[in-house]
Structure 1
């Protein structure tokens, strides 16, 4: 992500990852981050302001499945760290919002690999997401064993 100018994050939480990505990518980078929980979004906005990052990080309030259809333009990198049960619905938007060379990092694949003490509530959604992403001709997807993440490169 050394040359990323536009980054999208789905699942902001308290804002740690968005802040790290914005800082690592440099002053010309803009991050749009989506957060469904209003309390988390408020904490993230406060953290960005305290770190002088609020002009570079835009918090979009709502669920990924509702916000992604409204986004325009292309992103150099996308980081999915939200509700993995929604991930299968994101694929058409990932195609539209990325360009060849963009990367998509998908986190929270724990249910597929038995993470979180073996609770498997999201396994069908994660299986569907990864199967569709691996078969999608617009992406080359690599699953990172033991890390519960995948990396997809837009081709």
Structure 2
């Protein structure tokens, strides 16, 4: 029987491979296990544990200190990133359109003792994102899949040279690879994700790698203009 994650990614990697990889991960804190249980019970989309650990590893090795997350859900991915960023005095801004999920995330942040270090903004990223200024060294994009391309230019504007942009669910249960959507409403999202991947892999200011982990992750690094 597939778990909530295995059902989503079985067209990308074999479930037994996923289980093996997940079995090698370090033990997760109880708060992550609690959030995973809520996500299963309420069918809330959160990143897979191995993707959470990837986010942690990327932020840790990049020594990220200023993070923007677009799509909080209940804060599962936020707390993975926080494990790497907050002990170093970093800060996280995260955007969530769904009020109940934003409220749940706020509760988990408080329970984890990090609510005062995370700026949670409840509202539509299509409006809020374009009001942001400053720079970030780590941006995690996990919003509506059909909006990734729409958000890309603004993300690049906010991303400092040497920073990374991580986009989640870019293979969309394998549909982006096959080009075939399981539902009519997913056709647009599939086409736009294909365009997003074609764009980020060709932009001269980015170096991008696509990882078949979870439901597909695209990691893009913004080149330093001083490097030729």
TM-score, normalization by structure 2:
0.63
For the pair shown, the structure with the greater C-alpha radius of gyration is: 2
Name whichever structure is richer in helix by fraction.
2
In structure 2, which of residues 217, 220, 225 is the aligned counterpart of residue 149 of structure 1?
217
In structure 2, which of residues 150, 155, 161 is the aligned counterpart of residue 89 of structure 1?
150
C-alpha separation between the residues in 1 aligned to 2:212 and 2:151? 23
C-alpha separation between the residues in 2 aligned to 1:146 and 1:50? 29
In structure 2, which of residues 177, 185, 201 is the aligned counterpart of residue 113 of structure 1?
177
Number of residue pairs aligned between Structure 1 and Structure 2:
154
In structure 2, which of residues 50, 66, 70 is the aligned counterpart of residue 6 of structure 1?
66
1:53 aligns with 2:114: yes
**Shift of the alpha carbon at 1:146?**
5.2
1:16 match: 76
C-alpha separation between the residues in 2 aligned to 1:66 and 1:134? 26
**Shift of the alpha carbon at 1:19?**
1.2
Q: Matched residue of 2:115: which SS?
A: coil
Which runs of no fewer than 5 residues in structure 1 stay unpaired?
none
TM-score, normalization by structure 1:
0.91
Name whichever structure is richer in strand by fraction.
1
C-alpha separation between the residues in 2 aligned to 1:113 and 1:32? 32
Worse-superposed segment, 15-24 or 34-43: 15-24
- Cα-Cα RMSD: 1.9
Worse-superposed segment, 25-34 or 6-15: 25-34
**Shift of the alpha carbon at 1:26?**
3.2
C-alpha separation between the residues in 2 aligned to 1:41 and 1:92? 25
Worse-superposed segment, 9-18 or 127-136: 127-136
C-alpha separation between the residues in 2 aligned to 1:54 and 1:6? 16
Provide runs of 4+ in structure 1 moved above 6 Å: none
Instruction: Quickly say closer, same or farther: Cα 1:23–1:146, change in 2 above 3 A.
Output: closer
2:86, 2:117 within 8 Å by CA — same for their partners in 1?
A: no
C-alpha separation between the residues in 2 aligned to 1:76 and 1:63? 22
C-alpha separation between the residues in 2 aligned to 1:82 and 1:92? 15
**Shift of the alpha carbon at 1:144?**
1.2
1:82, 1:108 within 8 Å by CA — same for their partners in 2?
A: no
Q: Matched residue of 2:95: which SS?
A: strand
Which runs of no fewer than 5 residues in structure 2 stay unpaired?
1-58, 224-228
